[in-house]
Amino acid sequence: MSLSTEVSKRRTFAIISHPDAGKTTITEKVLLYGNLLQRAGTVKGRGSGQHAKSDWMEMEKERGISVTTSVMQFPFGDALVNLLDTPGHEDFSEDTYRTLTAVDSCLMVIDAAKGVEDRTRKLMEVTRLRDTPIITFMNKLDRDIRDPMEVMDEVERELNIMCAPITWPIGCGKEFKGVYHLLRDEVILYQSGHGHMIQDVDVIKGLDNPELDKRLDESLVETLREELELVVGASNEFDQEMFDAGELTPVFFGTALGNFGVDHMLEGLTNWAPTPKPRETDVRSVTAEEEKFTGFVFKIQANMDPKHRDRIAFMRICSGKYSKGMKMRHVRIGKDIAISDAVTFLAGDRSHADEAFPGDIIGLHNHGTIQIGDTFSQGEELKFTGIPNFAPEMFRRIRLRDPLKQKQLLKGLVQLSEEGAVQVFRPLDNNDLIVGAVGVLQFDVVVARLKSEYKVEAIYESVSVATARWVHCDDAKKLDEFRRKVSTNLALDGGDNLTYIAPTMVNLNLSMERYPDIQFLKTREH
């Protein structure tokens, strides 16, 4: 098959949602459709939230799907879909954010009883950096949900994206009967209790079909017809261009647990979501169909399998073809290396990939030479942009049990920060070591890894830092003055970049007002 055919089949996406909205459940159903699972319910050991937090290896074992199936590839229709898992719950980390820079579209799952929640807001902010197209799934229709029109309004208002309903629910909770597909002009009926398998599809063609009045309660059908009149008048139609620009999202309703509506969403995704998009570098834009191989690393994960104590660098292929044994240029260090053992991750297995194409993710064994953001090419000197650091939201001071190991501690922390496991800040005015993360589990991971990989016994304690911003100013004099005036709030990060660490949000806002020439940045490019 030609490269352009391979490219045209690929759809690479990730799921964004608030914890408990149903990401894991929907992943299971998606894999069921992709024939990767015989029976849903086998992906994640339930109750895996309660792991022994102090034990890194145990954590790895118990975290189930979020670790072992970081990337899942499956066919759906004529498409080949890559679903990238985004760590959630307590293992929420910068990896979650960065994974979003490696996909071409996102599925947003919303608990329709709750509406737009906090984590979804944050993740949507990240998708905005690249105007990623968003598909929406309103979940848990088998429960009593809020008025669907109201939830769509909330999405439009709070996430600043227009909604185009593709399906519309008929009832909810115990009365949930199915959906009307606006584009197909079909009612698709729901049967409860068949969530673990793919159901036979029960379709009634046409909204005015008398069959509908026979099969459903009169009042439900009446409400449906009335609602649809309103919905069609008041909401947006699907528009491919606006979807591509991240301005409009097609909305599907269903229940992941009942495995209803997931197939409609997948059909929408494979029909509309973009094939691997061109990617920007520091010198030019790279298109997927280019013959020469390029890719970038967006995530590094340690100790994925206790039996293989190595780190895996996750690389998104941007152009050309990977084949086993090929030589790649590791651009940052200027070295050509032969890659003979890249891995793919198929539903828990680590299988060797002989070939991979743009949009696909491959895992490279990493012995410390690969960092987040690294570009690989076939000789060309270029660097992919848009793989940022994100300002951490939680901070702890790291302290040694044995004060003589300060040097090792610093080395360990700097390396872990290069790898993207955590961020480290060294205040200009004292010898503290402050680590910042976006998820609380990262602190446990860091302490466990310092012990196992750097033989350093460390503990963490609270510190009065509320937020951090990277500082930038083109005017050296002004920057100098700023440095002098607020030095107690300044630190260097793992890459020696100047950072403002604010004890409170109020303090940050005041400083931003007081120093209008200084830029306070929430993201920093690698």
Which residues line the annotated binding site for GTP?
17-24, 85-89, 139-142
Single-letter amino acid, residue 108: M
Q: Per the structure block, which two tokens stand in for 196?
A: 């673990």
- Cβ 258 to ligand G4P shortest distance, Å: 6
Which residue positions form the known binding site? 17-24, 85-89, 139-142
What is the rounded CA–CA span in Å between residue 242 and residue 121?
20
Which CB sits closer to ligand G4P, 18 or 330?
18
Residue by residue, DSSP assigns 145-204 as: ---HHHHHHHHHHHH--EEEESEEEE--GGG--EEEETTTTEEEE--TT-TTSPPPPEEE
In sequence order, what are the residues at sequence separation of 6 or more whose Cβ sits closer than 8 angstroms to the Cβ of residue 199?
Answer: 191, 259, 260
Q: Do the beta carbons of residue 123 and residue 100 sit within 8 Å?
A: yes
Q: Do the beta carbons of residue 449 and residue 421 sit within 8 Å?
A: yes
Q: From 135-143, 232-240, 338-346, 368-376, give the range in contact with ligand G4P by CB under 6 A.
A: 135-143
Q: Is 299 in the site for ligand G4P (CB under 6 A)?
A: no
Q: From 173-181, 253-261, 276-284, 508-516, give the range in contact with ligand G4P by CB under 6 A.
A: 253-261
Q: Do the beta carbons of residue 181 and residue 266 sit within 8 Å?
A: no
Q: Is 484 in the site for ligand G4P (CB under 6 A)?
A: no
What is the rounded CA–CA span in Å between residue 287 and residue 104?
13
- Cβ 137 to ligand G4P shortest distance, Å: 10
Pick one of 24, 127, 281, 489: the residue that binds ligand G4P (CB under 6 A): 24
Q: Do the beta carbons of residue 111 and residue 22 sit within 8 Å?
A: yes
What is the rounded CA–CA span in Å between residue 484 and residue 93?
33
Number of residues that bind ligand G4P (CB under 6 A): 18
Which CB sits closer to ligand G4P, 144 or 381?
144
Q: Per the structure block, which two tokens stand in for 505?
A: 């949000």
Q: Is 25 in the site for ligand G4P (CB under 6 A)?
A: yes
Which residue carries 């020439």 as its tokens? 517
C-alpha distance from residue 340 to each of 323, 330, 352 (Å): 9, 15, 9
Pick one of 251, 256, 339, 398: the residue that binds ligand G4P (CB under 6 A): 256
Q: Is 259 in the site for ligand G4P (CB under 6 A)?
A: no
- Cβ 57 to ligand G4P shortest distance, Å: 23
- Cβ 391 to ligand G4P shortest distance, Å: 24
Residue by residue, DSSP assigns 429-451 as: SS---EEEESSTHHHHHHHHHHH
Q: Do the beta carbons of residue 204 and residue 189 sit within 8 Å?
A: yes
Pick one of 19, 75, 386, 495: the residue that binds ligand G4P (CB under 6 A): 19
Q: Is 143 in the site for ligand G4P (CB under 6 A)?
A: yes
- Cβ 254 to ligand G4P shortest distance, Å: 7
Q: Is 46 in the site for ligand G4P (CB under 6 A)?
A: yes
Site string for ligand G4P, 64-103 (x = CB under 6 A): ------------------------x---------------
Q: Is 148 in the site for ligand G4P (CB under 6 A)?
A: no
Pick one of 3, 8, 20, 492: the residue that binds ligand G4P (CB under 6 A): 20
Pick one of 12, 17, 105, 249: the residue that binds ligand G4P (CB under 6 A): 17
Q: Is 29 in the site for ligand G4P (CB under 6 A)?
A: no
Which CB sits closer to ligand G4P, 20 or 62?
20
C-alpha distance from residue 288 to each of 173, 278, 285, 345 (Å): 45, 6, 10, 22
- Cβ 266 to ligand G4P shortest distance, Å: 16
Among the listed residues 346, 450, 271, 349, the one whose alpha carbon sits nearest the alpha carbon of residue 34: 346
Which CB sits closer to ligand G4P, 75 or 348?
348
Pick one of 86, 255, 319, 344: the residue that binds ligand G4P (CB under 6 A): 255
Torsion of CA 455, 457, 460, 461, to 10 degrees: -160
Q: Per the structure block, which two tokens stand in for 427?
A: 């205040």
What is the rounded CA–CA span in Å between residue 145 and residue 208?
26
Pick one of 72, 110, 257, 465: the residue that binds ligand G4P (CB under 6 A): 257
Where does this chain bind ligand G4P (CB under 6 A)? 17, 19-25, 46, 88, 139-140, 142-143, 255-258
